[in-house]
Amino acid sequence: MLTDYHVHVERGKYQLEWLQKFIDKAKEEGITELGISEHAYRFKETKEILYNPWIAKRQTESIDEYLDMLFTARENGINIKVGIEMDYIPGKEEAIQNFLEKYPWDYVIGSIHWIDQWGFDLSEMKDEWSKRNVTDVYKVYFETLLKLTESKLFDIVGHFDVIKIFGHVPEMRDDLFQLIDQVIDSIATNNLVVEVSTAGYRKPVRELYPKPEWLSKFYEKDIPICLSSDAHTPEDVGSGYEDVIPLIAEVGYDKLAIFNKRKYQLLNFR
């Protein structure tokens, strides 16, 4: 039993023919729990939550078209989970909650991609890194992640340490270690699932999200995990699983979280 809960279909039309390509690849990879989790910023209904010049060019879809595709697939007998990846924006908690409560999700991934108006993981904005202190950026990121985990808005923590995407390494000061430990404690306290994402293997950092050091801490705290690829094309569904499955087993995990209607259960994957 394997999951891939972090999959984007935004590069094609929200139609069954395009979705089927992802489904077929999941079957090839032995993935029995496929979930689609489009970026919420794609939808016009989220303008109140996140909007800037970069987003404006991409906020072109309606949430209804996306959900119609997924529920039509279910009506056709396809086992697929209905998810969304929602950017956490401090101060927008009420708007996020109002949006999420309108729709029947199986799970909601909470992620951070923006520090104010800086999309820190975007290639077209990566030059901004040279203008900032890397350790300070990390601290702001994990302070924001702490707010995400305490917000009670999300089910899954997306790409825990995506801040490392371009390979920038902070000075690991005591205050940063303590902050990250505080985030991990909050994840455990708030009964959140953390995704183990192979996307990092395909990014400049060439490293799993989260790195094994943090993954071991999750295991020590009995924090459940799910597997995800963060695929944006059918070819990337299940990408890197042959490397990550032995790794998570070595850490001690033998179960993955399976979601339905925003509740999870743990099932053996080996």
**pLDDT tens-digit map of 242-261:** 999 999 999 999 999 999 99
Instruction: With beta carbons less than 8 A apart as the criterion, state whether 59 and 42 touch.
Output: yes
CATH architecture, domain 3-268: Alpha-Beta Barrel (3.20)
Which of 177, 188, 243 lies closest to 213 in space, CA to CA? 177
Alpha carbons 199 and 202: distance in angstroms, whole number: 5
Q: Would strands 255-260 and 156-157 be described as parallel, antiparallel, or unpaired?
A: unpaired
Instruction: With beta carbons less than 8 A apart as the criterion, state whether 156 and 108 touch.
Output: yes
pLDDT confidence of residue 179: 97
- Examine the pLDDT at 73 and tell me if it is beyond 90: yes
**pTM of whole model > 0.75?**
yes
pLDDT confidence of residue 270: 72
Alpha carbons 210 and 93: distance in angstroms, whole number: 25
pLDDT confidence of residue 160: 98
Question: How many CA atoms lie within 13 Å of 262's alpha carbon, on the beta-carbon side?
Answer: 13
Average pLDDT of the chain, as a whole number = 97
pLDDT tens per residue across span 104-136: 999 999 999 999 999 999 999 999 999 999 999
Q: In the chain, where are the structural domains located?
A: 3-268
Helix axes 241-251 and 212-220, enclosed angle (nearest 10): 40
Q: How far is CA 2 from CA 110, 165, 205, 231, 256, in A?
A: 21, 25, 25, 15, 8
Percent of the chain scored above 70 by pLDDT?
100
Percent of the chain scored above 90 by pLDDT?
99
Alpha carbons 215 and 248: distance in angstroms, whole number: 8
Helix axes 63-75 and 16-28, enclosed angle (nearest 10): 60
pLDDT confidence of residue 100: 98
User: Alpha helix locations (H) across the chain?
Assistant: 16-28, 53-56, 63-75, 93-100, 134-150, 174-189, 212-220, 241-251
Report the pLDDT averaged over residues 197-214.
Answer: 96
Which of 223, 237, 230 lies closest to 266 in space, CA to CA? 223
pLDDT tens per residue across span 157-180: 999 999 999 999 999 889 999 999
pLDDT confidence of residue 172: 82
Alpha carbons 88 and 46: distance in angstroms, whole number: 12
Q: How far is CA 24 from CA 16, 28, 87, 250, in A?
A: 12, 6, 28, 29
- Examine the pLDDT at 77 and tell me if it is beyond 90: yes
Report the pLDDT averaged over residues 22-46.
Answer: 98
